[in-house]
Amino acid sequence: MTVATPAVDPATEPLRIGAAVLTSRLIHGTGRFPSDAVLSRCLQAARPSMVTLAVRRLALGAAGVPGEAARNELADVDLAAYTLLPNTAGATTVEQAVRLAHLARAASLSELIKVEVIGDERTLLPDPEGTLAATRALVADGFTVLPYTSDDVVLALRLEEAGAAAVMPGAAPIGTTLGIQNALNLRLIIERLGVPVIIDAGLGVPSDAARVMEWGAAAVLVNTAIARAQDPPAMALAFSEAVRAGRRAHLAGRAEISLEAVASSPGRGVPTS
């Protein structure tokens, strides 16, 4: 008997979000890195398809002339090599998020926008009403909208109904690296939504990423866990391997759980008598 080898490895099937085609399911943040050079080495190690960015004022010096701070922060990074996912970080109202999204579109020349409307400065948890309203407004404006949301299952469903192209629930508050805090809700969001679910925020170690990918998350977004690791490029590589392993495990299908032990070795023919 011969077993046909599949021509295409399903684990490498790209993720499509709007017009974007992602061959890597690790979305790489670009904030909080020790330097541009370190960020650049992380990107070379992880080889992401998509990177996130923020939209900010150009820093101007005291005389109104751009000083050293005005050099392009991402000067060492070839942004043209990546699908850009700008965010609306810094917005606390729908109006601010919509304005930032339009500036992001003009700067990135991309319709993709990660909507962030923060509802509480200390936890940086999203404002549910503002996130939903901003998603509706930006979908109407023709954006491909990926809202950052909490682990609230019903809100995630409402965001999908509002036209989100993907939904991005956080595992833990932004920048904490606390890892998965509400496994059940993340799993329910992954189960219930038809659009891709991208686990965003708070992941700490590669096993967190592998775990959510095993559950069927479409991708993960990792920033601080890489940027603040002792060796960021090595951690970037570890996350990319974990995401691939988790995706492959999801497609492979986990073994059934048994509450009683089941011997792996044959029970007969044991030379004990």
Partner 1 sequence: MTISITLNGDAAEVDENLTVASLLDRLKVEPRRVVVEHNRRILRGEELAGSRIAAGDELELIQLVGGG
Binding mask 247-266 toward partner 1 (x if CB under 8 A, else -) reads --------------------
| Burial of residue 156, with CB atoms counted within 10 A of its CB: 0-12 exposed, 13-18 middle, 19 or more buried | buried
User: Which CB atom, from 98 or from 145, has the smaller least distance to partner 1?
Assistant: 98
| Residue 175 CB, nearest approach to partner 1 (Å) | 8
Which listed residue (89, 167, 188, 190) binds partner 1 by CB under 8 A?
89
104 binds partner 1 (CB under 8 A): yes
Which listed residue (23, 32, 34, 81) binds partner 1 by CB under 8 A?
32
Given the rule CB under 8 A, which of 179-187, 205-213, 220-228, 253-261 is the region that contacts partner 1? 220-228
Residue 10 gets which letter from DSSP?
A: G
Amino acid at 245: A
Q: Within 13 Å of residue 237, how many CA atoms lie on the same side as its CB?
A: 7
**Does residue 202 contact residue 171 with C-beta atoms inside 8 Å?**
yes
d(CA 30, CA 4): 42
Which of the following is catalytic: 28, 114, 211, 250? 114
| Residue 25 CB, nearest approach to partner 1 (Å) | 17
| 15: β partners | 22
d(CA 107, CA 9): 36
Residue 165 gets which letter from DSSP?
A: S
| 17: β partners | 20
**Does residue 150 contact residue 185 with C-beta atoms inside 8 Å?**
no
d(CA 243, CA 211): 9
Which listed residue (19, 107, 140, 154) binds partner 1 by CB under 8 A?
107
79 binds partner 1 (CB under 8 A): yes
Which listed residue (1, 4, 57, 68) binds partner 1 by CB under 8 A?
57
Given the rule CB under 8 A, which of 53-61, 150-158, 179-187, 232-240 is the region that contacts partner 1? 53-61
User: Which CB atom, from 95 or from 152, has the smaller least distance to partner 1?
Assistant: 95
Is position 114 annotated as part of the catalytic site?
yes
Q: Which of 74, 86, 85 is nearest to 38 (CA)?
A: 74
Q: Which residues here bind partner 1, judged by CB under 8 A? A: 29-33, 39, 52-58, 60, 64-66, 70, 72-74, 79, 84, 86-87, 89, 99, 102-104, 106-108, 174-175, 201, 221, 223-224
Catalytic machinery residues: 114
